[in-house]
Structure 1
Amino acid sequence: MSDPHAIRRRRLLFRAEHRGFKEADLVIGGFARARLQSMTESELDEFEALLEIPDQDLYAWVVSREEAPEDVNGPVFRALAKSAHAVSRT
Structure 2
Amino acid sequence: MNETRETRIKRMKMRSMRRGIKEMDLILSAYADRNLQNMDAVGLANYDALLQENDQDLYQWVTGQTSPPEQFVDLVADISKTFQK
TM (normalized to structure 2)? 0.88
Structure 2 residue runs of 5 or longer lacking an equivalent are none
Task: Tell me which residue corresponds to 1:41.
Answer: 41
The 2-side partners of 1:71 and 1:33 are apart by: 22
Provide the identity percentage: 33
Structure 1 residue runs of 5 or longer lacking an equivalent are none
Computing the radius of gyration over CA atoms, which structure comes out larger, 1 or 2? 1
TM (normalized to structure 1)? 0.84
Misfit runs of 4+, over 4 Å = none
Task: Tell me which residue corresponds to 1:7.
Answer: 7
Q: Aligned Cα RMSD in Å?
A: 1.4
1:47, 1:77 within 8 Å by CA — same for their partners in 2? no
Higher RCO (C-alpha under 8 Å, 6+ residues apart): 2
Aligned length, in residue pairs: 83
